[in-house]
Structure 1
Amino acid sequence: MGKKWRWGVILDAGSSGTRLHIYRWLDPAKAAKDASYEELHSLPNIVTKDKWTKKIRPGISTFGDHPEDVGPDHLQELVERALDVIPEDKHADTPIYLMATAGMRLLPPTQQRAVVTETCSYFRANTRFSLPDCDKHIQVIPGETEGLYGWIAANYLLGGFDNPEGHAHGKNHHTYGFLDMGGASAQIAFAPNATVAEEHGNDLKLLRLRSLNGAPKEYKVFTSTWLGFGVNQARERYVKTLLDEFLIDGEHEVPDPCLPRGLRTNEKGDYVSGSSKELSLVGTGEFDECLRRTKPLLGKDIPCDDKPCLFNGQHVPPIDFDINHFVGVSEYWHTTHGVFANKEDDTAYDFNTYQKKVVEFCSQHWEEIDSKVQSRKKDHGKEAQEACFKASWLISVLHEGIGIPRYGIDHAPTPGINVTKEVGEAAKEKGFLNPFQAADEIDNIEISWTLGKMVLYAAGQIPPKDNYLLPVGFGSNVKGIPPDFQHAGSSFNTTSAIDDDDDWSDTAEDLIDHAKSKSTSGFFFFVIILLFIAFLLRKRDRRMRLYGKVNKVLRRRRRPGSPRKGGLGLSVITNKLFGRGFYNYERVLEEGDADQFELGEASSDEGDTSDSSNGRARAGRSSGLATPKLNVEDFDDLKKNPHPGSALDRSGLVVRTESRERLFPQMLTAGRRSRAGSPTRLKSPLIGSMSEH
């Protein structure tokens, strides 16, 4: 794999499972070299693929009592995927992170530390990924940090960072608010308007990023978390209140208005048959009553020590919904789109429409619902059982807790701007016009807080402009570098060297991957033709170097022990492209004997340079032709006693006349008129065994 790519591995260790994310971006030196004006003023372009993510269950917090098993029983499957995706020669340069969230926050500190320590030990023993500091790479992150990373990811994908004019919401504001909800916690992050930011400066975090040209991008963001207010933790508290109120000694049934009519589950939400005598929650399908019972779970009556507060006595600066359009991910997406809408239904969240769907669904008898979901994915039945409570909790948090206007019913608390008219054209294309919009992906990339962490890391690899030496990262909202500043974790290199040929080998592998994913052979042949034409257009020395790189890619993808196919045809093509004898040279490389030769490196017309494996720079001739090094120890001896196989040129210099099979293939025709005119060639005594060289 080429030098131009940078990689990052991060594992999101949540309460219900651990998800692997792999990201890739251009080396800053390469990206800046080919960048347009807009790209130079943008953040690094980070990409990922579906096969670069993987989730396993249960959560890492379940290993609190037996942390020694977290590696082989939990992490191994994810580590193997990362090792398979990322090229081996890039492992040492690839950072690996595991950041645990709400599930681990609920464990005692001693168990947290044990799981974290075992995780770091496992990574170091089983991978070569970059892990210089366990405390920074493997940690339980605060909810505020998770929210900030999520805010970065959402605004990065929506384009608010790089195109502020296209996302102008009014009042010189161009970023989006971020809402996240998992099983155990909920987060909020947003940039207040200028007036609120001035009044509540001590509540904000200063975030500093860096665009490709080295210029800083600074933002003041409020972020907070509600531990215990994720949907699963809220459900546990809800069930407890039902049992405290309705459970009678000697009885085993309790009515539950948040379950569809006729559905029976136990306290954990598992299905219970009608003949069972275990404690059962019996659905009544009364969604209005469900809403009434979930609202008190917000803790709106808890005193607010630092006004203003939203819910549970949590201080949050005033939110200007005219300019703060919130993007909701995770449970916000699943709860609005799971059983109530298809993934293709990307219409903006509308309170009236959504509540109508929920009431209609939850008032059905469970047998009717169950018959409809059986044909869908296997876990859809579980989702259907939980859908009514989750919808009720989401509505309560959004509108009663955070105060987001019920679009179409409520007016924004601070009217004066028509949001639809003021929002930029770029935001219109994304569809984020209203105070709240649930989302899962933007441009086919998942909105995950892990992406925000990688954006920060990649930005830290960009060398700063002169006079802009402040580091990338975040901390307290003060000038300079605050004591609690958290650095991006990366470093920059102002002398990166990029080989343009790496672009071609990387492109070849990407296209091969893409072709394999297609069901038709026509697309595959189209890709091959494009590659072949581009290959022929390159200079001969570059074609030779590229051939070796692409062949290496193909060999790596061939399973060990599998036979090579098409060798005869390939040798004919390579002879035509590079001259006879090329296939023999390539065979020597494959058999591992190449280290017994010393060849001068070919230099490109653009002056590209690269280091040899032993650290010594090797330069080719300015003509672009690489020549074997002549190992002549005593020229006078040669002149007096010329060996067979050597000759004197017109200047009296000794010239070795090796067999053309031993020469670099591009030298075979250089300076020669025809093969017929060549003298009979004998093996030179100067050529000893290869081990002597």
Structure 2
Amino acid sequence: MMGSGKHHKFGVVLDAGSSGTRLYIYQWNDPVHARKKASTEKLRSIPKIKTKKQWTKKVKPGISTFHDKPGSVGHDHLAPLFEHALKSIPRAEVPNTPLFLLATAGMRLVPENERKRLLDEICTYARRNTEFLLPDCDLHIQVIPGETEGLYGWIAANYLLGGFDDPTVHDAHAHSKHGHHTYGFLDMGGASAQIAFAPNATESIKHADDLKLLRLRTLDGQDMEHRVFVTTWLGFGVNEARRRYVERIVEASGAPGVKELPDPCLPKGLLRTLDGKEIEDPAVAKKTVHLIGTGQFAECERQAYHLLDKDKHCVNAPCLLNGVHVPAIDFDVNHFVGVSEYWHTTHEIFEDKHSTKAYDFATYQKRVKEFCERDWHSIDEDVSKQKWGKKVDVDTAMQVCFKASWIINVLHDGIGVPRVGLESLGKSSHNGTKEVIEAVKEKGFMDSFQPVDKIEDVEVSWTLGRMILYASSQVPPAKVEGKEALPVGFGDNIFTANGVPEGFQYGGSGPQGKHGKPSFPSGNYTAPDSHWHDSLWQEGDTAPRRIPGLVLFLVIFGFAALLLIGRERRRRILHICASTVKSKKRKILGSTGIVTYERVLEDGYESPSTFELGSYDDEEGWGTPKLEAGRYDDPGLGPPRLGLHVAGSSSTVGLATRVESRERLATRSREVSPSRKGPRARSPLPPR
């Protein structure tokens, strides 16, 4: 279990991807406590986030596989993740720990109605089975667009590399010209690719409407704002690019009946089906259309280039790929780190013994060419001998040549990253990953592009970016006379009087409350150390909204007390209350000269709301008022129903009761039957 100090705060983010869901747990110090002893450097920094390898857990497959069976997602998928989290976080801190489940590519393909049902079930399961801080399902449990994923990644990368450090404190921080000290972020998965960066001053002004406003808060309560461009290219992930590539090969084959299609992106002699599976028996290959590797990497690069769609019409210039607008990138200012496939494809085979060396285009291209022009049989033998480690299997070796050609094309012909080793970069050359990270610590310079996986043993994951945003939102803002605190989060780069543009995504769990306190969309402020269930008892400006809840609680408490005091005492109390009400009623009406008569409608209808409970007991034939209460845990009864129910209070029974009362009053002067001791027996009420 993590440290359980009372000043530690925790957060949980579930990355619900297409292949599985990974749990991440993060920890930071309570900002109010942390800044009491913080140095000037730390006060001007974002709260320090911590995590460890054992604080993560992944389950397969992805939650999108539950789109047609949402009722199973809790027990079959979420349960082991929640169990791991609850074992890792101190029990007392669980109600104060926010839970986020953010889904990406896989869930974006699920039909909207099925997606909504599944997300609703996830939130319901989490609330029923945990006490995590989960005040707003729409904010905490959602499918995020690729742009948001890219922005979270940009936050994580800059946090780890020191891009958010105050340059006035770190004089040598600027790693580029003009004092620009943030890093660009590149991410590539199987289906899509993202880019996020802060353009130089000129481009920021020219393309201001295309940027996102990001607002963070440093430990001393000061706002930190950045204008970031972020976009996503759907279909430009490695798997989707490969699918489009194979389609082009099939279309280019032309002649019908052709079974064997040459593929320059596969090693020599490798037989592979169109959907990517190896064919070991040549006799089987002759029966179906298949690919055969020719091992011509230069040709592979040439064919992959056309997948960039550089010639597609650009509506809003400038554009990079597929006609998608991107502000011009100044590589003297913008230095990028690349994660996911940018790291795996450049390191799993080609940098295994050079993991500390920075990406060098000339060196990388040479190694890829040597590998991909080898005979497949020799590569297969090296894989079985684990020449490149346990992580490199046959599938990885088969796919890496196309992936490498795609990465090279996207980086250099698509995005325009200078080709280190071929193109002159002046003072822009630098050593490797280890040296780069050391240089970052010294606030030095960085290459135009650098693949990274971990920085100081912390994975560069967009989930970290989401938690940085949350932790920053929990810092109390600095008090400025006559100025309202602005919320932490991101939205369109549009000026508004209150600093909250339409569609603003809050860093905490909802809109900013007064005095900078984070509050929820319902308008109720929940302090960081309270639970969303407990909002009824919170103090502050929202007290009037809690009055109905307080009254309901008192009513429930009163009825419960009546049930517990016993039948005789309950009857006496009801009698006293009824007598008091009647006495006051007579005084009021008498003083005004108004005379009232009780009227019984002969048509058999009288509104039940006009019925008046007197001090009658069961012996006189009146039903005792009954307390009916629904329960939250009884799905058949729905929400709680608390109130008095009078036996036989339907319209027809009400009439029968009234008529019978008059008959009984008329017969009270009659003699009591000699055969009975006491009042004459009554007939039962007619059946309901």
Contact 1:91 1:129 in 2 (8 A): yes
Counterpart among 353, 364, 379 of residue 369 in structure 1 = 379
Query: Aligned pair count?
Result: 492
Q: Structure 1 CA distance, aligned partners of 2:187 and 2:479?
A: 38
Corresponding residue number in structure 1 for 2:491: 475
1:267 and 1:107, CA in 2 relative to 1: closer, same or farther beyond 3 A? Answer: farther
State the Cα distance separating 1:87 from its structure 2 match.
1.8
Q: Tell me whether 1:308 sits opposite 2:327 in the alignment.
A: no
Q: In structure 1, what residue type is equivalent to 2:106?
A: G
Aligned residue among 233, 246, 251 for 1:226: 233
Please state if 1:487 is matched with 2:500. no
Q: Tell me the distance in 1 between the aligned counterparts of 2:60 and 2:240.
A: 18
**Could you say which residue in structure 2 is the equivalent of 1:454?**
467
Q: Which residue of 1 aligns with 2:412?
A: 399
The alpha-carbon deviation at position 301 of structure 1 amounts to: 1.3
Paired with 2:239 and 2:342, the residues of 1 have a C-alpha distance of 13
SS for the counterpart of 1:265 is strand
Equivalent position of 1:50 in the other structure: 53
Equivalent residue for 1:254, pick from 249, 258, 261? 261
Q: Determine which of 35, 38, 45 is the counterpart of 1:35.
A: 38
> Is the CA contact 1:247–1:253 (under 8 Å) kept in the aligned structure 2?
no
Measure how far apart 1:172 and its partner are.
Answer: 1.9
Amino acid at match of 2:396: E
Instruction: Say whether residues 1:157 and 2:157 are aligned partners.
Output: no
Q: Which residue of 1 aligns with 2:20?
A: 17
Select 2:64's aligned residue among 36, 61, 66.
Answer: 61
User: Which residue identity is paired with 1:439?
Assistant: V
Give the match's secondary structure for 1:270: coil
The equivalences for 1:549-628 within 5 A come to: none
Query: 1:150-186: CA deviations, max 9, x gaps?
Result: 1110000001111433331111200000000111111
Matched, 1:342 2:352: yes
- Mark the CA change 1:244 to 1:75 in structure 2 (over 3 Å): closer, same or farther: farther
2:341 to 303, 328, 331: 331
Cα distance in 1 between the residues matched to 2:289 and 2:32: 64
Task: Return the offset for 1:108.
Answer: 2.7
Shift of 1:30: 2.0
Aligned 1:125-140 pairs, distance under 5 A:
125-140=128-143
Distance 1:419 1:194 in 2: 23
Q: Could you tell me which residue of structure 1 aligns to residue 114 of structure 2?
A: 111
How far residue 334 of structure 1 moved from its aligned partner, in angstroms, is 0.5
* More moved, 241-250 vs 392-401: 241-250
1:335 partner SS: helix
Match of 1:141 in 2: 144
What is the aligned partner in structure 2 of residue 615 from structure 1? none
CA distance in 2, matches of 1:251, 1:90: 65
Q: Which residue of 1 aligns with 2:542?
A: none
Distance in 2 (alpha carbons) for counterparts of 1:24 and 1:424: 23
Give, as a single letter, the amino acid of the residue that structure 2 aligns with 1:120: C
Compared CA separation, residues 293 and 424, structure 1 to 2 (3 A): closer
Which aligned pairs between 1:515-554 and structure 2 lie closer than 5 A? Answer: none
Distance apart, 1:67 and its partner CA: 3.2
CA 1:384–1:163 in structure 2 vs 1: closer, same or farther (change >3 Å)? farther
> 2:423 maps to what in 1?
410
**126-135 or 41-50: which moved more?**
126-135
Contact 1:15–1:183 (Cα < 8 Å) also in 2: no
Q: Distance in 2 between matches of 1:166 and 1:115?
A: 50
Which amino acid counterpart does residue 154 of structure 2 have in structure 1? W
Q: Distance in 1 between matches of 2:85 and 2:16?
A: 16
Structure 1 equivalent of residue 673 of structure 2 = none
**Alpha carbons 2:24, 2:56 under 8 Å: kept:** yes
Code of the aligned partner of 1:322: D
Q: Is the 8 A contact 2:264 2:294 kept in 1?
A: yes
Mapped partners of 1:398, 1:3: distance in 2: 47
Tell me what 2:532 maps to: none
Q: 2: CA distance between counterparts of 1:346 and 1:205? A: 34
Counterpart in 2 of 1:245? 252
Name the SS of the counterpart of 1:474 in structure 2: strand
Deviations 1:96-152 (A, max 9, x none): 111111222233323322332222222223222111111111111111111111111
Query: Which residue of the partner structure matches residue 299 of structure 2?
Result: 289
Decide whether the 8 Å contact of 2:308 with 2:410 is kept in 1. yes
For 2:172, the aligned partner's letter is G
Question: What is the letter of the counterpart of residue 338 of structure 1?
Answer: E
Once structures 1 and 2 are overlaid, which stretch shifts more, 450-459 or 59-68? 59-68
Give aligned-pair identity as a percent.
57
Task: Return 5+ residue gaps in structure 2 as ranges.
Answer: 518-688
Is this contact kept in 2: 1:373–1:380, CA < 8 A? yes
Query: Match of 1:167, SS?
Result: coil
Alignment match of 1:202 (pick from 193, 209, 223): 209
Aligned partner of 1:167 in structure 2 is 173
Q: Is the 8 A contact 1:99 1:138 kept in 2?
A: yes
Deviation at 1:391, TM superposition (A): 0.4
Q: 2: distance between equivalents of 1:424 and 1:269?
A: 37
Q: Secondary structure at the match of 1:395?
A: helix
TM-score, length of structure 1 as denominator length: 0.67
Segment of structure 1 superposing worse, 398-407 or 481-490: 481-490
* Residue of structure 1 equivalent to 2:543: none
Residue identity in the other structure for 2:173: H
Aligned to 2:9: 6
Greater CA deviation, 273-282 or 366-375? 273-282
Note the C-alpha offset of 1:342. 2.0
When Rg is computed on C-alpha atoms for both structures, the one with the higher figure is 2
**Aligned counterparts of 2:189 and 2:438: Cα–Cα separation in 1:** 32
Match of 2:477 among 447, 464, 469: 464
Residue of structure 1 in register with 2:567 after alignment:
none
AA matched with 2:493: N
Cα separation, partners in 2 of 1:258 and 1:337, compared to 1, 3 Å? same
Deviates more, 1:174-183 or 1:264-273: 264-273
**Quick check: 2:474–2:508 contact (8 Å CA) kept in 1?**
no
1:167, 1:426 within 8 Å by CA — same for their partners in 2? no
Q: Of 275, 281, 290, which residue of structure 2 is paired with 1:268? A: 275
Gapped regions of structure 1 (runs ≥ 5): 497-693
Change (3 A) 1:19 1:177: same
C-alpha contact (below 8 Å) 1:472/1:487 kept by paired residues:
yes
How far apart, in 2, do the equivalents of 1:197 and 1:402 lie?
18
Report if aligned partners of 1:167, 1:424 keep a CA contact under 8 Å in 2.
no
Give, in whole Å, the separation in 2 of the partners of 1:310 and 1:252.
36
**1:453 counterpart letter in structure 2:** R
8 Å CA contact 1:166, 1:425 repeated in 2: no
For 2:251 and 2:59, how far apart are their aligned partners in 1? Answer: 35
1:344 Cα deviation after fit: 6.0
Structure 2: distance between partners of 1:268 and 1:21:
33
Which residue of structure 2 lines up, in the alignment, with residue 124 of structure 1? 127
Q: Which residue of 2 aligns with 1:358?
A: 368
RMSD: 2.5
TM-score, with length taken from structure 2: 0.68
